Amino acid sequence: MTEKEQTAIATVRRYVWWSIGAGLIPFVVLDIAAVTAVQLKMLAEISKIYGVEFRKTRGKAVVGSLVGSLIPGAFSYGVGYSVMKSVPVVGYVLGSPLMVIFSGATAWALGKVFIQHFESGGTFLDFNPDEVKEYFKAQYEEGRKLAATTERRENPQIPV
């Protein structure tokens, strides 16, 4: 593993936690906006590590394309989890854990996809979401496991 890759993975792990935190915002749809902003910031930092010019508009398009590739209407699931939180007491209790897992898992998957792409010499301009959808889905599943883990010390993949 290269030094850049190690630094980038540490960055992704940090942003998984920031995404989880943003997913806890109790205001409908504001949580999704916060998660998206956090994940775009993560992509900007990973780009900087690799010396790749970050393009926010391209980043938004890529995030939407990859998250939408998870399952039909994946973004609507995120919105659904967010809206669910608006139901007094019960909605927040049920919607928050789902939104947290969704937020953390998508951050992990996006980070891993871009690390792989930048490690191979790619840029934002030559990134093709269709070519990485299967890898993204596999990393999303790994990210779901990471995000569902409540004790950092019990999961050696997440730094303490």
pTM here is 0.79
In sequence order, what are the residues at sequence separation of 6 or more whose Cβ sits closer than 8 angstroms to the Cβ of residue 14?
none
Going residue by residue through the chain (160 aa), what tens digit of pLDDT does each one get? 899 999 999 999 999 999 998 888 877 778 888 988 999 999 999 999 999 999 888 888 888 778 777 655 444 445 555 555 555 555 544 556 777 888 899 999 999 999 999 999 999 889 998 899 999 999 999 998 888 774 344 444 544 3
Alpha-carbon radius of gyration of the chain: 15
Rounded CA separation 14/123 (Å):
22
- Per-residue DSSP letters for 16-56? HHHHHHHHT--STTHHHHHHHHHHHHHHHHHHHHHTPPP-H
Domains of the chain, by residue range, sit at 3-148
